Amino acid sequence: MSVENAKKIMMEHFANTARRFGLSELYGYIYGLLFFEDEPLSLGEIAERTGYSLSHVSTALKLLENVGLVKRIKKPGDKKAYYTAIKNIREWRKEAYYKKIEEDIRQTRENLLRALKEIENDESEEAKKIRQRIEFALRRNAIAEKIINIFLKHEDEEILQALLECLEKKLNSKNP
């Protein structure tokens, strides 16, 4: 098998991943192209190599940059923007994925507390039911926050493996 065939296999993998997330395969092709490059590429170079238009590639790069998979780089003395892939998936997972979950958890907590405040003096049956649901959601939210903090603070696979084993043991003891 040649290096080029190996690259093609992975490019198709990235394209299929993009499709699974409801995106054009272009996103996967761009990421795959940048993933295998040692040096950053310009917008024009990426468009030329993928066969897509500058506008399509530009739009895709903006999204890939926003989700943290691609980084824009400026070279001294050059007005062009260059792009490189984030190749350390662990770094991406931590910075882009877990941070977004952490932000969602924080926003959820804030909104649950705001909703709870809105009904704090209401003693109607409906308010009591809503209060119970919100308090349950707050407890779940606190657990989710603790779990995501473990992922953010402990990249070590050994820690994550220990967490997984603990969870599996607990689940197995409930379902013998």
* Domain positions in the chain: 3-85, 89-174
Nearest-angstrom CA–CA distance, 28 and 19: 8
Helices 25-36, 54-66: crossing angle, 10 deg rounding: 80
| C-alpha span between 109 and 140 (Å, rounded) | 10
Nearest-CA neighbor of 47 among 33, 62, 35, 36?
Answer: 33
- Is 55's pLDDT higher than 90? yes
Enumerate the β-bridge partners of residue 74. Answer: 81
141 neighbors 109 (Cβ within 8 angstroms): yes
Paired strand residues for 55: none
pLDDT for position 61: 96
Token pair 């050059």: residue? 78
Q: Higher pLDDT residue, 100 or 83?
A: 83
Query: Who wins on pLDDT, 87 or 17?
Result: 17
Q: In this structure, which CATH number among 1.10.4010.10, 1.10.10.10, 3.60.150.10, 2.30.40.10 belongs to the domain 3-85?
A: 1.10.10.10
Burial 77-110 (b: 16+ CB within 10 A, else e): eeeeebbbbbeeeeebbbeeebeebbeebeebbe
Q: For the segment 143-162, what is each residue's pLDDT rounded down to a tens digit?
A: 999 888 887 777 667 777 88
pLDDT recorded at residue 103: 86
- Please list the residues that pair with 83 across neighbouring strands: 41, 72
How are strands ordered across the β-sheet holding 81-85? 41-42, 81-85, 70-74
**Mean of the pLDDT values across residues 128-143?**
95
